[in-house]
Amino acid sequence: MERVGERSRAAAGPLTRVSHAGEGTVAGAGRDLDLRGEVCPYTFLKAKLALEGMGRGEVLRVVVDNATSAQDVPRSLTGAGQTVLGAEPLGEGVWVIVVRKEA
């Protein structure tokens, strides 16, 4: 899986980051995918691609700042055979979606 480097949101646009175990703030989340600044369908597609690079049972924490994505990503990932463990507000205008890879 391609890993996009960290960069300043102010500098080069939205941050897309995948981190590994120990860096997330949600207990049990093995990887983080920060999709703030992205919109659907890209949020779903990038989450799906991140999950493809993970092993069955691993957990991905997806952060979005788009209300449509906060609703559509969990539904789409469930439809794609994954298990959404939670989807809730992280702060004003930011949501976290925690998903376990099943297939």
Q: Cα(96)–Cα(65) distance, rounded to whole angstroms?
A: 9
Three-state DSSP at 74 gives helix
Written as six digits, the tokens of 42 are 């890209």
**Is 40 an active-site residue?**
yes
Written as six digits, the tokens of 54 are 């993970």
| Catalytic choice (40, 84, 85, 90) | 40
Positions annotated as catalytic residues are 40
